[in-house]
Amino acid sequence: MGSLELLLSLAPLVSGFVCPPSEQTAKTSALGEACGGTCDSVGVCAEGLHCVVMPQGTVSPMSFAIASFGLGGKDKVGVCKQKSGARELQFVAGGTRDVDDLDSDEIVAAAKQAMLMVTRMSNSLTPPTLKRIVSAQSQVVAGMKYTLTLEMTDGSRHRVVLVDQPWQKERYSMVSHELLG
């Protein structure tokens, strides 16, 4: 057998895996049941539910067999969860999203740090303090990037962009600061 014939005979073994046509319906999974997997072999969530992929290490240790043969991976198995609304469907991984809870620990900590940084740049003996957080956006970058609009006690508004990297010696770094008025 020549080398070309050998390569052609091995081609089916190294080629990609193709799922069967979608007319063959998979098991319908209810709330809390397993879903996903290669070609939805574990199940497809019932109407009103969506498949949330579980983090690695939370599925059966036997799922290594599927991953070893290139037929999928253990990170493709999930659990059917209730859809929480249109806002969740608008989220784009890596994209900027509006923060709904302006009183969350993360946003308050970022706002306090932003105020310290703005105060350091101030030339005033009595700089204004934070009155309220007007709006906040977050984006996953190499850490978490926050764009905050802050209202001060003197009525001025500031837009501050900072990045939170908890593993760094200086956790927060300011990207930009703009006085809005």
Residues 83 and 10 in one domain: yes
Question: Is 147's pLDDT higher than 90?
Answer: yes
Domain's final residue, options 60, 89, 118 = 89
CATH of residue 161 = 3.10.450.10
CATH of the domain at 18: 4.10.40
Contacts within 8 Å (CB) and 24+ apart, 9-12: none
Using 50, 70 and 90 to split pLDDT, how confident is the model at 159? very high
pLDDT average, residue stretch 169-179: 90
Same domain, 144 and 164: yes
- Asked if 83 contacts 49 with a C-beta cutoff of 8 angstroms, the reply is yes
Q: Is the pLDDT of residue 75 over 70?
A: no
48-73 pLDDT, tens per residue? 777 877 544 444 444 444 443 444 44
Looking at residue 20, what is its pLDDT?
62
* CA distance linking residue 75 with residue 66, whole number of Å: 11
Residues 101 and 158 occupy one common structural domain:
yes
pLDDT of residue 13: 52
In this predicted model, what pLDDT tens digit does every residue of 78-89 receive, in sequence order?
A: 777 776 554 444
Q: How many domains does the chain have?
A: 2
pLDDT band (50, 70, 90) for residue 17: low
Domain of residue 53, residue span: 3-89
Asked if residue 75 and residue 115 are part of one domain, the reply reads no
Claim to verify: residue 37 and residue 112 sit in the same structural domain: no
- Please report, for residues 64, 76, 130, 144, 166, the alpha-carbon distance to residue 171 in angstroms, rounded to integers and kept in the order given: 38, 33, 21, 11, 5
The 10s digit of each residue's pLDDT in 18-50 is: 666 655 556 777 777 878 877 777 788 888 777
